[in-house]
Structure 1
């Protein structure tokens, strides 16, 4: 018997939930560093094909990363308050379905990158390895947030390669900023689950930092701002960019206020606030190249 339209619609909705299409914040956290990189590489508006491929590619790879993360954590997520109702963990879809969705998303991303030059394609293989291995890192290291930063930030050297055919020094500085930033916001995210993670033996920077979490996050935030200033100096940015960095600093101060009590909801709000931080930096980059 053929499945009903309602049944098909429900399956598609479960796949959408699996890929976090209902949670767009993660998309922005990946998009912002990539967009910083593209505009700096192009010294203005990038090639339309490169921009289109990278925006679509980031969205597809973020979805693929969410799928493989849920597959890797399908048993762990049962014991975490925030994640126990995810489609795979709750049994609304099967592990086989999740792997099929991941494969389709991965093939789509690879098809997109084939439109780029050889160097970009070569770098893409490193990105695939980083994305596929990240979900398993929390079992072996207290620094999965750093690994996530490398996976998220790998779009930066790829963007430079696609736009310019090279990966200059400034590209690695932007990549470093992306890794530091991801470590900041994903540590805030991990603070939400710290109690559950301690019970089940999952590792994170939130657990590693312990009672020094706020201080270390603060130091990382200062390091992030210093990286952004160095990027501005190397790229010859004008004052409008540095004003955006200053605004980013205010967002970081607000995040420190939110995580001060280490309450779950406020730590999650601090994590979400990073979407605006990344957007503020991009506006500064955009305005610089738009008016100079």
Structure 2
């Protein structure tokens, strides 16, 4: 196990954080380890948790009608995504601290580098969860129960890589739950449309997180951590195409299930087409042996998800 702790580099930043991120540049020095533990220096994960929530709001507005409350649901989802992504990452780092210490990309994270104690991380986890729960209480009983239920998925995910070659499925189950929650916050229950969008999000997560996991494939093989990147290996591009295609088809079906017609239908389909083109662009540039390129493509999925969210919102407003 790697035992070097508190190296100057580890104190400054985490290895895979974007250069000149706002935490390293502007946050008070005493806050930085805690913000790094929540991945505030790497906001892409917050986007990937938030965007399915916004898909759910857009679909709900198509199925029903937009109201001013939808604006608060969108803001509450954004705040909740920040807090619960931070809580999820904190739990992940507590659970994976021994693995992280053995992987070059992750040994500079706050716990294995010694910037944050395990006890401190647990306290930080509880604080984030409590704040997230306060926000959840404003979204109605159906959304509250769904939010509480999601904690089981969050708790299981860090351990999935130890017992299955498909941990990306567990990540997808957790990260796309917001589709169901946001729909329920608007309509008070669940229907076929958000379930189809949820499945689309899971397929999308397998797509982008397999790309992400190729950064660590060699280290993961050495320490026995499983992933779809290792499972698919040299055939990864073909598998990525399959899951990307599944995400596109399921999103189109969710749009139809929401009852989109006329201009709303065409706007929704335009967004899904843009999403499909973005995934094709990623596939054209995917190289499993280029770690830096894999990280860039992973981060680019903010844009593919935003395309869908924007066009669904427009479709819901017409």
Could you tell me which residue of structure 1 aligns to residue 188 of structure 2?
165
Question: Aligned partners of 1:284 and 1:155: how far apart in 2?
Answer: 18
Residue 249 in structure 1 maps to residue 272 in structure 2: no
CA distance in 2 between counterparts of 1:45 and 1:248 reads 26
TM-score scaled by length of structure 1: 0.92
Deviates more, 1:231-240 or 1:272-281: 231-240
1:111 deviation in Å?
1.8
**1:46 Cα deviation after fit:** 5.8
Deviation at 1:11, TM superposition (A): 3.0
User: 2:294 aligns to what SS in structure 1?
Assistant: helix
CA distance, structure 2, for counterparts of residue 217 and residue 143 of structure 1: 14
| Structure 2, unpaired ranges of 5+ | 1-26
- Is the Cα–Cα contact under 8 Å of residues 47 and 302 in structure 2 kept in the other structure? yes
| Of 41, 46, 49, the match for 2:60 | 41
Deviations 1:32-51 (A, max 9, x none): 11101012113335613333
1:60 equivalent to 2:83? Answer: yes
The number of aligned residues is: 284
Q: Deviations over 1:246-283 (max 9, x none)?
A: 22222112211222353111111221111110011112
Task: Give the C-alpha shift of residue 101 in structure 1.
Answer: 0.3
State whether residues 258 and 269 of structure 1, in contact with CA within 8 Å, keep that contact through their aligned partners in structure 2: no
Q: For 1:119-134, list aligned pairs within 5 A.
A: 119-134=142-157
Give matches, 1:198-213, under 5 Å.
Answer: 198-213=221-236
Equivalent positions of 1:249-268 (< 5 A) are 249-260=276-287, 262-268=289-295
Q: Tell me, which stretches of 5 or more residues in structure 1 are unaligned?
A: 1-7
Offset of residue 181 of structure 1 = 0.9
Partner of 2:297: 270
2 CA distance for matches of 1:18 and 1:190? 19
Q: Is the 8 A contact 2:58 2:315 kept in 1?
A: no
> Please, what TM-score do these two structures have when normalized by structure 2?
0.85
Pick the aligned partner of 1:15 from 34, 45, 49: 34
Determine if the alignment matches structure 1 residue 233 to structure 2 residue 256.
Answer: yes
1:148 alignment partner in structure 2? 171
Q: Assess, with a 3 A threshold, how the Cα gap between structure 1 residues 160 and 264 changes in structure 2: closer, same or farther.
A: same
Higher relative contact order structure (alpha carbons within 8 Å, sequence separation ≥ 6): 2
In structure 2, the partner of 1:184 is 207
Cα distance, 1:234–1:148 mapped onto 2, change above 3 Å: same
Is 2:109 the partner of 1:86?
yes
Q: In 1, are the aligned partners of 2:193 and 2:255 still within 8 Å (CA)? A: no
Distance 2:73 2:170 in 1: 26
Deviation at 1:97, TM superposition (A): 0.6
Q: What is the alpha-carbon distance in structure 2 between the residues aligned to residue 162 and residue 246 of structure 1?
A: 27
Q: Following the alignment from structure 2 to structure 1, what is the Cα–Cα distance between the partners of residues 152 and 191?
A: 22
Which deviates the most, 192-201 or 256-265?
A: 256-265
**Alpha-carbon separation, structure 1, partners of 2:132 and 2:184:** 17
What is the CA distance between 1:79 and its match in structure 2?
1.6
Q: Give the secondary structure class of the aligned counterpart of 1:11.
A: coil
Q: Deviations over 1:35-82 (max 9, x none)?
A: 010121133356133333222112110010111111111111112121
